Amino acid sequence: MAGNNSPMICQRCVMDSSVQGIHFDQNGICNYCHDFDKHISSYRFSDVASEKQIASLIKKIKDAAKGKEYDSIVGLSGGVDSSYIAFLAYKFGLKPLAIHFDNGWNSEIAVSNIKKIVNQCRFDLETYVINWPEFRDLQRSFLKASVVDIEMVTDHAIFAAMFHYAKKYKIKYVLSGTNFTTEHGMPNDWTWRKSDIINIRDIQNRFGKLKIKSYPTMGSLEFALIRKLGIPFGYIELLNAINYRKNDAMTVLKKEFNWEYYGGKHYESVFTKFYQGYILPKKFGIDKRMVHWSALVRNGEITRTEACKEMAKPIYTEVELQADKEYVCKKLEFSQREFNDMMAASPKKHLFYKSDQRYLNIYTQLYKILKTMIRS
């Protein structure tokens, strides 16, 4: 039982009552666990069914690329999910073009992991190096805007850059590391839609000094057509076609590539580690470890007791925090005082700024009509 001043914690995972909109049943089980149970049957397969599903996807990818140099694109960050996608592509004899998005914040471990994988798999690698002054100005703007999803500027650019290469090399399929089993359960108000270029542009226009010129972009409609209908490129989530387990994936990666773990989900990026480990908890009261550990509990990879112990550990030591804070401030050209003032400013919703939200509602209705027409 939680104390009077302590949040109520789910009796199955480690999501707690600090999450807006969470609710618990009579047994103390949260709605995120119930939602997982509702959908997990679509992501659990017998070995035979999984092999059949993967074989069908691989055949579709290869058939669409006959006579071409590449049959797919793999976005490679050096993290677990993208690295395992690269391993699967190698294992099943695909010919992917590996794409790495360099936004200036790569950790040394991430760079090393990428080199090990592309060298052993003999994949061609294209590195999209962002225009640093422009991207730095974007990150500064999002910090000044006090919105929760500062990583939106990286995630949007990653998607846009991958589809730029797909168009350039006439590649039909992009392989994604997105997966249900280890990523399920992110509260809606902890993030924002990565496709909302109107939101990005408005925040930059209000707070930035530079115009968006070379930063890779794509519209929400284009994004929706790709993700939902595969037009003009197919978007394949290979990890959702297997019984994916993150711990098993790391074991394979270490064995096959001498791959190294970097300490936390998305911590392959120095900025992401600081964002998730300091900015989110300090300014927004959000600890994303809660979602990450809860997903692994539901997926049967760790026990709830183990997850509770991990949650009890400090995200940063004082020495590490000070070092990373100084590094981030210096790289983004903020004084400590400026940064502290931004951290103290009240958070704002993304919808405080211009957004494509009303267009998204129209797209959703059109998508439903298209699906009905296709079925009939």
For residue 130, how many C-alpha atoms fall within 13 Å in the half-sphere facing its CB? 28
pLDDT at res. 53: 93
CB 324 within 8 A of CB 315: no
Q: How confident is the model at residue 94 (pLDDT cuts 50, 70, 90)?
A: very high
Q: Which residue has the higher pLDDT, 220 or 355?
A: 355
Which of 125-134, 215-224, 300-309 is predicted with the least confidence, judged by mean pLDDT? 215-224
Q: Kindly give, in sequence order, each residue whose CB lies less than 8 Å from that of residue 79, ignoring residues fewer than 6 positions away.
A: 110, 113, 177, 262, 265, 266, 268
- Residue 299 phi/psi, 5° resolution? -85, 0
Please name each of the domains of the chain with its CATH number: 44-355 (3.40.50.620)
Q: Judging by DSSP bridges, how do beta strands 234-237 and 173-176 pair with one another?
A: parallel
d(Cα 245, Cα 81) in Å, to the nearest integer?
10
Q: Which residue has the higher pLDDT, 265 or 196?
A: 196
Within 10 angstroms of residue 73's Cβ, the number of other Cβ atoms is 25
pLDDT at res. 264: 60
- Residue 101 phi/psi, 5° resolution? -100, 115
Residue 7 is given by DSSP the state P
pLDDT at res. 1: 43
- Residue 237 phi/psi, 5° resolution? -100, 85
pLDDT at res. 244: 95
Is the Cα dihedral 238, 242, 243, 248 positive or negative?
A: negative
Is 114 buried (19+), middle (13-18) or exposed (0-12) by CB count in 10 A? buried
Q: Is residue 343 pLDDT above 70, yes or no? A: yes
- The tens digit of pLDDT for each residue in 239-249 reads 999 999 999 99
CB 96 within 8 A of CB 280: no
d(Cα 43, Cα 234) in Å, to the nearest integer?
20
- The tens digit of pLDDT for each residue in 107-144 reads 889 899 999 999 999 999 999 999 999 999 999 999 99
In this prediction, residues 23-29 reach a mean pLDDT of: 97
Q: Which residue has the higher pLDDT, 369 or 41?
A: 41
